[in-house]
A and B are shown apart, each in its own frame.
Chain A
Amino acid sequence: DAMVIQNPRYQVTQFGKPVTLSCSQTLNHNVMYWYQQKSSQAPKLLFHYYDKDFNNEADTPDNFQSRRPNTSFCFLDIRSPGLGDAAMYLCATSRRRGRGDTQYFGPGTRLTVL
């Protein structure tokens, strides 16, 4: 009965080789988020979708892109991963936009860049 699913759990890529991380949800939530979390740090928001409305954070590098083809799925594309992009990538969902709502997180994908 997993609610927010991320695949793969571990991803190894080479420097500069594009990689795509996947997130799916069974909650039918309107909002989906992507966070980057480095060791011993708090999650950092990269961007989020409200339905198909994409909202990028000002300091998210252009190297990071996202797609949301339908309500259930959201993808994080890293076009040319650098060593500094090695991190845990977390997907989260919330039910609605606006007034604060609980975000539910997936288990994360641990990205290693060689």
Chain B
Amino acid sequence: GESVGLHLPTLSVQEGDNSIINCAYSNSASDYFIWYKQESGKGPQFIIDIRSNMDKRQGQRVTVLLNKTVKHLSLQIAATQPGDSAVYFCAENEGGSEKLVFGKGTKLTVNP
């Protein structure tokens, strides 16, 4: 997922609904994936991570799913709240490297 372009994909949901944010990654050698949440004017905040030997991991209200066959990553947020409104970035890490490659980001808006 090399980030290109200036227009963020957007997702608008109603408060209380579940949200699903998707990310396609490019490097089949990537073995570690992170989801970050970035609120306006702030730094990215770690949400949840997953390694390539897993296909699902759950946190508090969040679930990350990894499909290595199609190189796809998703973040599910249960019972979305207004405080979840932010830009969400996926990031991938190639094994043996400490560098992350960020995806484009998705802007989530939660309507009350």
Knowing A90-B43, A104-B46, the reply to whether A44 touches B98 (Cβ < 8 A) is no
Q: Given A98-B96, A105-B44, do A40 and B103 touch, yes or no (CB 8 Å)?
A: no
Residue of A nearest to B89 (CB): A42
Q: What distance in Å separates the Cβ of B44 from its nearest Cβ neighbour in chain A?
A: 5
Q: How many residues of B contact A (CB 8 A)?
A: 29
Chain A, 94-114, contact with B by CB distance < 8 Å: what is the 0/1 string?
101111111111111010000
Cα of A48 to Cα of B102 in the assembled complex, Å: 16
Q: Known contacts A100-B51, A102-B46, A105-B45: does B102 contact A42 (CB below 8 Å)?
A: yes
Question: Which residues of chain B (28-61) have a CB below 8 Å from chain A?
Answer: 31-32, 34, 36, 41-46, 49, 51
**Chain A: interface residue total (CB-CB under 8 A):** 29
Number of interchain pairs (Cβ within 8 Å):
70
Residues of A within 8 A of B8 (CB): 40
Closest to A39 in B: B6
- How does the 8 Å CB contact mask read for B16-33 relative to A, with 1 for contact and 0 for none? 000000000000000110
Known: A92-B43, A101-B93. 8 other contacts (CB 8 A): A42-B105, A48-B98, A50-B98, A96-B98, A99-B95, A100-B51, A102-B46, A106-B43
Q: Give the B-binding residues of A (Cβ under 8 A).
A: 4, 6, 31, 39-45, 48, 50, 90, 92, 94, 96-108, 110
- Cross-chain pairs A/B with CB under 8 angstroms, 5 sampled: A39-B6, A45-B99, A50-B98, A90-B43, A100-B32
